[in-house]
């Protein structure tokens, strides 16, 4: 039994050495042997079906890998878009806060403007009833903008009498602002 086993090992070594030498001297290459063996095997229907299935499996594996890569890219793109969306939502919240603050300021300014308009209307009534010379003494002591606003709303004849009673340099300054 040992002799048979030893003989088989020697045969296998000699066959391997023969194939190596044939490949080394380019008589037969391993690639040629593999190709010819595959061609012979493909003639057997069961082996041919297996090889076709193996090729399809390899193609499916390649496609699966491509899909995985594409999925990974899409996940990364999705993360980027999600970050952009979160940033935009944060910007929107900030802008909404700014809008609320501006609306609050606008309401305050409108309220102040209404109060100012009411005060000017009341002062117009007071100075319209007053003698022009007395009004001419008091009006220059007020802020120029208030004086101008009062004179814009007062009757033109009364305004002319008040301006006529004022010192010339003050009357000229207020008149120039009335024309604007």
Q: Average pLDDT over the chain, rounded to whole?
A: 86
The predicted-structure confidence for 88-122, as pLDDT tens digits, reads as follows: 999 999 999 999 999 999 999 999 999 999 999 99
Distance of CA 145 to the CA centre of its chain: 46
Q: What does the domain layout of the chain look like in residue ranges?
A: 22-112, 130-180
Share of the chain above pLDDT 70, in %: 89
- Contacts (Cβ under 8 Å, ≥6 apart) of 65: none
Separation of alpha carbons 134 and 28, rounded Å: 129
pLDDT at 116: 93
Q: What is the pLDDT, as a whole number, of residue 118?
A: 95
Half-sphere exposure of residue 153, counting CA atoms within 13 Å on the CB side?
Answer: 17
pLDDT in tens, 43-58: 777 666 666 666 777 7
The pLDDT, as a whole number, for residue 134 is 93
**Residues in CB range of 161: below 8 A, 6 or more apart:** 132
What would the mean pLDDT of 128-155 be, rounded to a whole number? 92
């Amino acid at each position: 039994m040992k002799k048979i086993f030893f003989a088989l090992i020697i045969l296998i070594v000699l066959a391997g050495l023969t194939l190596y030498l044939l490949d080394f001297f380019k008589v037969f290459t391993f690639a040629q042997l593999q190709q010819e063996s595959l061609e012979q095997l493909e003639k057997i229907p069961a082996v041919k079906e297996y090889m076709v299935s193996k090729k399809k499996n390899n193609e499916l594996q390649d496609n699966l890998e491509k899909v995985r890569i594409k999925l990974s890219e899409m996940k990364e793109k999705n993360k980027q878009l999600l970050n952009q969306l979160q940033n935009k939502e944060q910007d929107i919240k900030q802008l909404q806060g700014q809008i609320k603050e501006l609306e609050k300021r606008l309401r305050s300014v409108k309220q102040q403007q209404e109060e100012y308009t009411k005060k000017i209307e009341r002062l117009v009534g007071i100075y319209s009833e007053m003698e022009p010379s007395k009004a001419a003494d008091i009006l220059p002591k007020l802020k120029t903008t208030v004086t101008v606003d009062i004179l814009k709303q007062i009757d033109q004849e009364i305004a002319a009498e008040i301006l006529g009673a004022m010192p010339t340099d003050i009357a000229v300054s207020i008149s120039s602002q009335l024309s604007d």
